Structure 1
């Protein structure tokens, strides 16, 4: 696998296991995440699995998850 970078084709991330939330629905309205060998986390749109992947550090993902748990983004889905 080449060095991961933001916007790279998700198909270039070979050997990773993509996961999506159990809250995802059958219409494909979800994102998928994959742990990278270097400890980073890749994110892709499940409707476009061959499309771009965005790469984040664990600290960035942790900040997002904590913000979601605290309700900081509730206004985006209401």
Structure 2
């Protein structure tokens, strides 16, 4: 297991656009690397409420060319 920390404040502060892009680019890189080895990727934040979900949603929009509405529908279905 590889552990990657991307420091982001929680609750009262939204991550910057730059922090989101950095996190999504790292996430894409790890997902591709894991997929090429037959492994999955697990993402979470310490509070398990919003930051990890934000990055996963942005990943789907950026890497899978999904619309925000499609992503929300997918998450709700899961």
Regarding TM over 0.5, the answer is no
Q: TM-score, normalised by structure 1?
A: 0.26
Q: TM-score, normalised by structure 2?
A: 0.26
Report the structure, 1 or 2, having the larger helix content.
2
Q: Using CA pairs below 8 Å that are at least 6 residues apart, which structure has the higher relative contact order?
A: 1
